[in-house]
Chains A and B, each alone.
Chain A
């Protein structure tokens, strides 16, 4: 019987398989950052162990770094200690590190693909749940905890129970102005935050094939938001064109051998999935969240739901609590919600294509009075590319804050945070209570919705804008 993409990649990485035990899986690439690695390196030191394969390990600084004054010492002493600890550990254990100020520094999930280290058919792990991003290339990629980081450092393997497989097929083409972000928010609203639990999900169908690599990364990135172990997309010519000539991509005969293998990484026609979901792309519209988990979303043209509309009592209680936290009334049109801060960035939407899209909408407009717009490139390379294309000027002229690379306001850890009750429209991935700062209120949105919202000051789509006079 045929095998799915996930099963093929899994089987290629089994070091050891014994009945009653998880498979021992080889890890092709281990990405590291400052927040989830210090205790792992400590564990190695205590046990007198080494990093087995420093040449399959890459470290960068992203979660806990400022996006202004990155050339000066980090002001917060506790954050500085954490970043210094990564630098010390990387030096001691021989791990390649791209620190603040380096041209390859950035969000770990932006850096891997742009270096060409993320390739089809690989196994990739990182102490970060959005490692699922790399599945866009046809890799099995998932987030791990710090104990597992230590395990991979010491052994380059992980014991893993074989997950079930699921197909999400998106038929037809996405309507104009509807992005990969809208698609994934729409999907999560159907499945809930636990719908993918225990599955490696393969996204397929015409709408997925038509996505750019950036769009595919956005979809796979948020696989974790509906609980999936990982999300994957079969590699194709779009994938190969993206990887070719990247710094760490195979070259010459090696490239040909790699592509020949990558072409075999498609789900066989007679393979079966444990579960299948089918979506019609034509049904997807600009989608935004109203609540405090990523499954609590509605079309931008819709209204804040009434908790009594939910049949499940726990959903009803969760909705009541979410409305209270978010400071919203049932029935309020989403378009009338006033936003204080717009954040464009993160591993979900901080790549060059996202910045181009935002600049294209913002060009000739001004950020609304009383609203601030933060544009944070996912990496220094993305930032430099944007400057080369003049996008930085578009943002600055509109009145936006043009920042350095990092996770920034996606998580309330570094200095970029919401104040209590401050409301954001955010291109990031999580709207949990306090995620962007204690008491902050987050609406997850696509890049076009973020850009239009920054101009109008209320949740908006580009269709709501009066054309710019340029």
Chain B
């Protein structure tokens, strides 16, 4: 995984709550056996609408998605994270993320940054008034910034300490866990014999 420290890119205001993973990428696009190529399926149904935000030129190159609460609910498909990344998104800002989506983002290297609902509202207004404007995110200081002067938006975002550390270091989770192989083996030695196995009982 690449290290994530800061990112600045075009902000995309997505004025919707409850954006479930079936909206992010419908099931029919989940048939690939790779981690790439999912950008075509991103928000597939909504992209048929010429008025959809990603169909408008300055937003089409966006990399910071600003969405309503309960983003990423529903299916556990990590393809939703890959579709956002394959399209070019590095960061999603929302007031509330579904657990599995947030977990998947942390593993795949997409920053799911939880901000206050008021910050989302202000960013929406700013990005709609200034199409193509950029939003900056600093993972080290957990801050999000947009705009300049008196009206500048600056606030903190929440992310758990462990995910932040892993993203900053670009660490491979499996590698960390395999470092504790002795602990795992010790645990296994103490498992009750009546626990089920799928083969070789």
Q: Which of A's residues lie within 8 Å of B, judged by CB?
A: 15-16, 20-22, 24, 26, 28-29, 35-36, 38-39, 42, 47, 49, 52, 54-58, 63-64, 76, 78-79, 81-82, 85, 96, 116-117, 119, 122, 127-129, 131, 142-148, 150-151, 154-157, 159, 161, 193-194, 197-198, 224, 227, 229, 248-250, 254-255, 257-258, 261, 293, 314-315, 317-318, 321, 411-413, 430, 432-435, 438-439
Contact = CB atoms under 8 A, between A and B. Distances in A.
Contact of A26 (B16, B103, B187): B187
A254 B193 contact: yes
B107 interface: yes
Given A54-B199, A254-B194, A145 B22 contact: no
Interface in B140-179: 160-162, 173-174, 176-178
A261 B198 contact: no
Interface string B183-201: 1100110011111111111
Contact of A314 (B68, B75, B200): B68
A128 B197 CA distance: 21
Contacts of B191: 26
A129 B74 contact: yes
A129 B76 contact: yes
Interface stretch (B53-61, B92-100, B130-138): B92-100
Given A26-B184, A155-B184, A412-B26, A129 B194 contact: no
A177 B172 CA distance: 51
B129 interface: no
B86 interface: no
Given A22-B162, A194-B70, A314-B68, A255 B183 contact: no
Contacts of B161: 20
B73 interface: yes
Interface of B: 15-18, 20, 22-23, 26-28, 30-35, 45, 68-70, 73-79, 81, 96, 98-100, 103-104, 107-108, 160-162, 173-174, 176-178, 180-181, 183-184, 187-188, 191-201
B178 A147 contact: no
Contact of A39 (B26, B35, B74): B35
B76 A64 contact: no
A26 B162 CA distance: 19
B27 A413 contact: yes
A157 B194 contact: no
Given A15-B180, A36-B78, A144 B197 contact: no
Contact of B177 (A157, A317, A412): A157
Nearest to A25: B187
Given A49-B174, A314-B69, A82 B33 contact: yes
Contacts, number: 209
Contacts of B99: 197-198, 227, 229
A7 to B, nearest CB: 18
Contacts of B195: 28, 119, 122
A82 B31 contact: yes
Given A129-B76, A227-B98, 12 more contacts: A26-B188, A36-B77, A39-B78, A82-B31, A117-B196, A146-B78, A147-B78, A249-B196, A293-B18, A317-B17, A318-B17, A433-B22
> Would you call the interface of chain B mostly helix, strand, loop, or mixed?
loop
Contact of A193 (B18, B108, B181): B18
A276 to B, nearest CB: 20
A16 B197 CA distance: 23
B31 A157 contact: no
A145 B103 contact: yes
A266 B138 CA distance: 45
A259 B104 CA distance: 36
Nearest to B26: A434
A127 B92 CA distance: 22
Contacts of A435: 22, 27
Contact of A36 (B76, B103, B174): B76
A159 B198 contact: no
Contacts of B22: 411, 430, 432-435
A378 B71 CA distance: 30
B65 to A, nearest CB: 17
Contacts of B174: 47, 49, 150-151, 154-155
A64 B27 CA distance: 9
B73 A55 contact: no
Given A49-B174, A147-B78, A248-B196, A293 B20 contact: yes
Nearest to B104: A145
A254 B33 CA distance: 41
Contact of A154 (B16, B178, B192): B178
Given A21-B162, A24-B180, A129-B75, A143 B100 contact: yes
A96 B73 contact: no
A257 B192 CA distance: 9
Contact of B74 (A122, A315, A430): A430
Interface core residue of B96, B162, B177 (most chain A CB under 10 Å): B177
A145 B77 contact: yes
A232 B17 CA distance: 28
B186 to A, nearest CB: 8
A249 B197 CA distance: 10
B180 A197 contact: no
A64 B199 contact: no
A85 B33 contact: yes
Given A155-B174, A438-B45, A161 B78 contact: no
Contacts of B75: 128-129, 411, 430
Nearest to A78: B31
Contact of A227 (B70, B103, B188, B197): B70
A55 B33 contact: no
A41 B196 CA distance: 23
Given A161-B160, A432-B22, A438-B26, A145 B199 contact: no
